[in-house]
């Protein structure tokens, strides 16, 4: 039987997830949706043959809902996830797990109390073929010990009302999770540098920013975050090891050559770039939910990412290096 899923939040990301679950994921069915914009929720519900609930908690409590996908605003991620845990329903919570580390810990503790994994956090990059290639390069031993990683994360334009710390909490958090996952170690400190501001970044937005992350082993990760690069969505990473290097570059399958330029297309946004990763993320979560063996990014991963992002924000504010104070990882979250 298909997994009956309730989706909370039908904004851009939530809507994409609903359509993906309906049209491209095996073994899944969207049973119910909820959004504070009831009209938007009703319209999407009609499109995919689901029902629209009038509250998120009704959806979570609905006995016909077996699992929950949370794509609501970050501020309510933690409380909704805790509610799902209370109902013993597997949940996929979009990143971040919560905006603050204490909230993340609260989720993690609720999950720990059940003695079983119920939460997956939406770090979809772990399902991207390119990041998989980096991980295999490390696991296969060809790069040796990782000493450095260089990450670039560029968006064409930032949304309206974007604030300087959001470059860290909304975008760099992906790099934080990727770095933790690739290096298989924790990040212990962060320093943020503010270069010359792009004249095309609105108001007093500090854009771009440079982030230096330090890992337990001493390995360092540089992150350039630039959310008004104009030209497109560009996510890259190079791992530098003692024996070799491995790179994730602009995905390419060919070119078009006209008027003196051999041109490769750059994705316009993250939706195109990570379309396949999103699909595989959902499929993996559906399989895990049905089989009762959730894996994928955990509550602890969500907590650690938020804790490092908070250190980044502190560094941006103070202009100094900020240490990350991380509680140790419970055994429930061991394993790959």
**Peptide bond connecting 208 to the previous residue in cis, omega within 30 degrees of 0:** yes
Q: Residues 147, 222: contact at Cβ < 8 Å?
A: no
Q: Report the largest interatomic distance among the alpha carbons of the chain, rounded to a whole angstrom.
A: 64
Complex with a copy of itself: residue 54 or 320, whichever CB lies closer: 320
Closest CA to 4 of 33, 31, 44: 31
The footprint of a copy of itself on this chain (CB under 8 A) covers a number of residues equal to 78
- CA dist 108 → 115, 187, 228 (Å): 11, 19, 35
Q: Which of 118, 179, 220, 309 binds a copy of itself (CB under 8 A)?
A: 220
- Write down the least CB distance from residue 50 to a copy of itself, Å: 14
Q: Which of 208, 288, 297, 302 binds a copy of itself (CB under 8 A)?
A: 208
Alpha-carbon radius of gyration of the chain? 20
Quick one: which segment of 57-65, 79-87, 167-175, 258-266 binds a copy of itself (CB under 8 A)?
258-266
CA gap 293, 296 in Å, rounded: 10
One character per residue 13-52, x = contact with a copy of itself (rule: CB under 8 A) = --------xxxxxxxx------------------------
Site for a copy of itself in 66-125 (CB under 8 A): none
Q: Residues 158, 142: contact at Cβ < 8 Å?
A: no
Site for a copy of itself in 279-308 (CB under 8 A): 283, 287
Q: Does 150 bind a copy of itself (CB under 8 A)?
A: yes
Structure tokens at 153: 């994360």
Quick one: which segment of 7-15, 117-125, 159-167, 209-217 binds a copy of itself (CB under 8 A)?
209-217
The phi and psi torsions of 255 (rounded to 5 degrees) equal -150, 165
Quick one: which segment of 80-88, 91-99, 106-114, 245-253 binds a copy of itself (CB under 8 A)?
245-253
Q: Strand 234-241 relative to strand 146-154: parallel, antiparallel, unpaired? A: antiparallel
Q: Which of 40, 234, 326, 329 binds a copy of itself (CB under 8 A)?
A: 234
Quick one: which segment of 31-39, 64-72, 110-118, 137-145 binds a copy of itself (CB under 8 A)?
137-145
Q: Which of 13, 36, 250, 332 binds a copy of itself (CB under 8 A)?
A: 250
Complex with a copy of itself: residue 162 or 226, whichever CB lies closer: 226
The phi and psi torsions of 114 (rounded to 5 degrees) equal -85, -15
């Amino acid at each position: 039987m298909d997994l009956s899923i309730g989706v909370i939040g039908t904004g851009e990301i939530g809507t994409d997830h609903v359509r993906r679950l309906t049209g491209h994921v095996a073994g899944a069915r969207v049973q119910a949706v909820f959004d504070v914009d009831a009209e938007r929720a009703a319209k999407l519900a009609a499109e995919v043959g689901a029902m629209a609930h009038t509250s998120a908690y009704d959806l979570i409590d609905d006995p016909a809902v077996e699992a929950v996908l949370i794509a609501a605003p970050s501020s309510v991620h933690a409380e909704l996830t805790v509610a799902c845990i209370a109902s013993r329903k597997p949940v996929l919570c979009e990143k971040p797990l919560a905006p603050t580390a204490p909230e993340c810990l609260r989720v993690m503790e609720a999950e720990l109390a059940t003695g079983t994994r119920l939460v997956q956090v939406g770090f979809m990059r772990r399902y991207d073929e390119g990041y998989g290639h980096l991980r295999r390069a490390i696991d296969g031993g060809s790069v040796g010990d990782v000493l450095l990683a260089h990450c670039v994360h560029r968006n064409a334009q930032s949304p309206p009302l974007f604030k300087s710390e959001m470059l860290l909490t909304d975008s760099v958090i992906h790099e934080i999770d990727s770095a933790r996952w690739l290096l298989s170690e924790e990040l212990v400190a962060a320093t943020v540098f503010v270069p010359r501001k792009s004249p095309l970044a609105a108001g007093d937005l500090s854009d771009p920013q440079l982030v230096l992350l330090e890992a337990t082993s001493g390995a360092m990760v540089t992150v350039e975050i630039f959310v008004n690069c104009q030209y497109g969505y560009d996510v890259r990473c190079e791992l530098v090891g003692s024996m070799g290097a491995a790179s994730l570059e602009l995905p390419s399958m060919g070119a078009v050559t006209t008027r003196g330029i051999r041109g490769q297309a750059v994705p316009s946004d993250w939706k195109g770039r990570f379309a396949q990763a999103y699909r595989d993320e959902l499929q993996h979560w559906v399989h895990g939910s049905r089989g009762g063996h959730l894996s994928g990014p955990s509550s602890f991963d969500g907590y650690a990412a938020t804790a490092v992002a908070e250190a980044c924000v502190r560094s941006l504010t103070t202009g100094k290096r900020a240490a990350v104070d991380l509680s140790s990882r419970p055994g429930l979250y061991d394993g790959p």
